[in-house]
């Protein structure tokens, strides 16, 4: 019995250690779907209750992440980027500077922090990757992936959130030679680089897909979607996807063999079928009307939900065919996430709304105006433990939705 107890304790400690090393992922796993259940079925007329508001963030468009029993969020004060650490009641625990942020056009922190164990990684709009002790703020290493490669910054500054998988951290400096790179997350040393198609980066946070016998890194660059072996850096396939301003800010989403990549600025959505091992991709359909610029897409039970850019309506599409099921103008265009089979929308007009996630039609379940905060309504909300967290400029707002 004693031996069994020791073995169980060892296994438990190992599993806890492995879990603690899981990286936080922007947008709930990049697909925009959060695991919370038993959420409110409707909202009061005035909207969900605001639990607290923190209004000292400065400027930024990033999302909060939850780790080490705290809330972490990036922001900019004057020209410096900061990591803010809050407790679950919205009280500031600590803040520390990471470096100069992007202040030229639509100023503010862009990228969401990534936390793995007690490590925190942040990618500035100037192309600098910083690794810190998450709670203490002690710098462990930094690397400017634009100046250290042949990459260059883009019109509105680096915006992608870093992706960490195991001991690798991935970035897209957009050079002709070093187009996409993988670094050792413990020291910042380059592990591999891919020439890709030599495009500039395009504001896109990549995703890692678990394929048969392979991990596949998928991202959108200025003119192409790339499929890269995440271990070796070999580009396995590419697909031409240009638009007017080379902006592809939506992370590709994947389900049941289908990869969906959505772009605004005069383009649209393409659905690709991937080989089981991720080694190839072929077009299934293309739809010009689903032209979301940077608000993301969610895929639930075989149906896509998103708003457009030029086509401003909220729409639902069958993912297998690209055929439209409905459209609605009850909420302005913007960002979408999902939880508990409900859609949560945050429009660029400052509306926060909830609707049913069904292909049968759009049913609004609640809507309110976001009055707190400053500047553009662009950040992607986050749902955690029955609360919806919204970053609007200088404010982080916690809403009770359960």
Give a three-class secondary structure readout of 304-366: EEEECCCCCCEEEEECCCCCEEEEECCCCCEEEEEECCEEEEEECCCEEEEEECCCCCCCEEE
pLDDT at 10 over 70: no
Q: What is the mean pLDDT of residues 111-129?
A: 98
pTM score, whole prediction: 0.94
pLDDT at 47 over 50: yes
Taking the mean position of all CA atoms in its chain, how far away is CA 86? 20
Confirm whether 31-59+329-402 and 63-160 share one CATH topology: yes
Q: What is the mean pLDDT of residues 171-186?
A: 98
Average pLDDT value over all residues in the chain: 94
Q: Which CATH code, of 2.40.128, 2.40.10, 1.10.3470, 3.30.160, is assigned to 31-59+329-402?
A: 2.40.128
Q: How far apart are CA 156 and CA 323, in angstroms?
A: 33
**In this structure, what are the phi and psi dihedrals at residue 11, rounded to the nearest 5 degrees?**
-65, -40
pLDDT at 302: 97
Based on the number of CB atoms within 10 Å of its own CB, is 231 exposed (0-12), middle (13-18) or buried (19 or more)?
middle
Q: What is the mean pLDDT of residues 106-121?
A: 98
pLDDT grade, residue 234 (50/70/90)? very high
Q: What is the mean pLDDT of residues 60-74?
A: 98
The full set of domain ranges for the chain reads: 31-59+329-402, 63-160
Q: What is the mean pLDDT of residues 97-101?
A: 98
Please give the class, per CATH, of domain 63-160. Answer: mainly beta
pLDDT at 30: 84
Q: What is the mean pLDDT of residues 89-110?
A: 97
pLDDT at 74 over 60: yes
């Amino acid at each position: 019995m004693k031996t069994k107890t020791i073995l169980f304790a060892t296994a438990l400690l190992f599993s806890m250690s492995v879990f603690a090393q899981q990286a936080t992922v922007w947008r709930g796993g990049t697909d925009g779907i959060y695991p919370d259940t038993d959420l409110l079925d409707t909202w009061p007329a005035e909207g969900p209750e605001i639990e607290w508001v923190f209004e000292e963030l400065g400027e930024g468009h990033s999302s909060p992440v939850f780790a080490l029993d705290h809330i972490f969020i990036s922001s900019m004060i004057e020209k410096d980027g900061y990591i803010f650490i809050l407790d679950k009641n919205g009280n500031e625990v600590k803040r520390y500077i990471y470096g100069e942020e992007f202040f030229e056009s639509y100023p503010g922190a862009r990228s969401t922090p990534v936390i793995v164990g007690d490590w925190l990684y942040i990618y500035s709009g100037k192309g600098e990757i910083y690794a810190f002790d998450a709670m203490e703020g002690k710098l462990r290493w930094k690397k400017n992936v634009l100046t250290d490669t042949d990459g260059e910054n883009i019109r509105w500054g680096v915006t992608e959130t870093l992706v960490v998988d195991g001991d690798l951290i991935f970035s897209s400096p957009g050079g002709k030679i070093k187009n996409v790179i993988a670094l050792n997350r413990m020291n910042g040393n380059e592990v591999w680089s891919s020439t890709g198609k030599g495009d500039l980066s395009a504001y896109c946070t990549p995703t890692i897909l678990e394929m048969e016998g392979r991990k596949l890194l998928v991202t959108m660059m200025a003119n192409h979607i790339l499929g890269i072996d995440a271990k070796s850096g070999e580009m396995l396939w590419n697909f031409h996807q240009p638009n007017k301003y080379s902006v592809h800010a939506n992370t590709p989403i994947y389900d049941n063999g289908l990869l969906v990549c959505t772009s605004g600025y005069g383009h649209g959505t393409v659905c690709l079928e991937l080989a089981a091992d991720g080694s190839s991709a072929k077009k299934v359909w293309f739809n010009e009307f689903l032209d979301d610029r940077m608000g993301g897409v969610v895929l639930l039970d075989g149906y896509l939900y998103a708003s457009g850019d030029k086509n401003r309506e909220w729409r639902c599409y069958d993912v297998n065919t690209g055929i439209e099921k409905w459209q609605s103008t009850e909420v302005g265009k913007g960002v979408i996430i999902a939880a508990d089979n409900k859609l949560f929308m945050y429009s660029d007009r400052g509306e926060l709304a909830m609707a049913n996630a069904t292909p049968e039609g759009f049913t609004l379940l609640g809507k309110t105006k976001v009055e707190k905060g400053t500047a553009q309504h662009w950040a992607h909300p986050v749902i955690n433990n029955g609360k919806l967290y919204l970053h609007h400029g200088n404010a982080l707002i916690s809403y009770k939705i359960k």
